[in-house]
Amino acid sequence: MTRNAYEIALMPGDGIGPEVIDAAVSVLSDAAVRHDVSLNYTHHEAGADYYRKTQMAIAPETMDAIGKADAVLLGAMGLPDVRYPDGTEIAPQIDMREHYGLFASLRPCRLFPGVPTRVRAEHVDMLVIRELVEGLFAGRHDKIAESNDSCSDRLTVSRKGCEQLFELAFRQAEQRRRLHGTPGHVTLLDKANVLRSNAFMRKIFDEVAAQHHDIATDRIYIDAGSMMFVTNPERYDVVVTENVFGDITSEIAAGVVGGLGVAPSADVSETHGVFQPSHGSAPDIAGAGVANPVATILSAAMMLDWLSEKRGDERCSRAASAIRAATGAVLAGGPKTRDIGGAAGTREVADAIRAALSADALAA
């Protein structure tokens, strides 16, 4: 059956962004061809470098155009030395979340054989879900009186925001159990013993949990729960939490499974998805050709899975599985980049994954 091509908006961004996007697109394109998925790419500029040239983090027409694409694949945005007058970094990816209501960031952290970890753990396979537009980011645009004595940020959560977040968490737990044999468990991390907003979140979590009897649950305070990422990461399947708590714990989880170079993510609403590595622009290694492309390659696989679910297109999920299997084979046998104990460059790793894809196809 002939189907139209999916429109993929590419946003390479800053620092190592263009390098990891090039690598991921080479793998994505091979997997798409092998599984009869047609992809059209459009390229869009935004980020700190773009701001330096234009005084805009993202142009309004770019914001419109990416919303018309079927999905967005983003490298990294922001540079420490390019800032707004108020001292904050250029972060159009945050503007995109607000503009398109991307209310959750899905951050799978799985320990692949062959990837070194400093934590004693056999089997780590969790999905950290970070709320993305409320919580401690809710007051980002609040007007505040200038003062040299105090400053505050606002933590707000809404019933609607919590309900859609927790529904998604339970659906993810069900889907992971069905597709990957995970236990079907959701943990809420909060500070409900002190923060009223978090006690409210917990109440809504319990309401949503009552609609999903077949999924087991835990509610753990964020402080103890953070420690458990290190002492007992196997206990987690799906973890869901407030915006800033999720920002921090998802990086702890990434550290447990080998670091930011292997941690993919997807910022999603019911209708839009922006897929990007969990890492930033890594200016310390930009241009050196040594960035680990695995996080972006796994983000591209998440994008195919998302397209598969949204469009009912099995070919996309087959292409996603092939990318994950080929990436797993290369992580196990090398070549690997130096952040995970190897000595290879970005291109060499991407080419090895492409070779593993074709070896897999020949074996099938």
Q: Tell which positions 221-240 bind ligand ATP, by CB under 6 A.
A: none
Q: How far is CA 50 from the centre of its chain?
A: 23
78 sits near ligand ATP (criterion: CB under 6 A) = yes
Closer by beta carbon to ligand ATP, 187 or else 337: 337
- Least distance CB 279 / ligand ATP (angstroms): 3
DSSP 275-317: EEESS---TTTTTTT----HHHHHHHHHHHHHHHHHHT-HHHH
The answer to whether the beta carbons of residues 334 and 344 sit under 8 Å apart is: yes
Among 108, 184, 225, 261, binds ligand ATP (CB under 6 A): 261
Would you call 116 helix, strand, or coil by DSSP? coil
Q: Tokens 């690997």 label which residue?
A: 336
Among 291, 297, 298, 353, binds ligand ATP (CB under 6 A): 291
Cβ burial, residue 22 (10 Å; 0-12/13-18/19+): middle
285 sits near ligand ATP (criterion: CB under 6 A) = yes
307 sits near ligand ATP (criterion: CB under 6 A) = no
- 113-121, 169-177, 280-288, 313-321 -> range binding ligand ATP (CB under 6 A): 280-288
Tell me the C-alpha to C-alpha distance, in Å, between residue 156 and each of 133, 203, 205, 347.
10, 15, 16, 43
256 sits near ligand ATP (criterion: CB under 6 A) = no
Among 241, 249, 281, 308, binds ligand ATP (CB under 6 A): 281
Cis amide leading into 335 (omega within 30)? yes
260 sits near ligand ATP (criterion: CB under 6 A) = yes
267 sits near ligand ATP (criterion: CB under 6 A) = no
90 sits near ligand ATP (criterion: CB under 6 A) = no
The answer to whether the beta carbons of residues 78 and 281 sit under 8 Å apart is: yes
Q: Binding residues for ligand ATP, per CB under 6 A? A: 16, 20, 78, 260-261, 279-282, 284-285, 291-292, 295, 337, 339
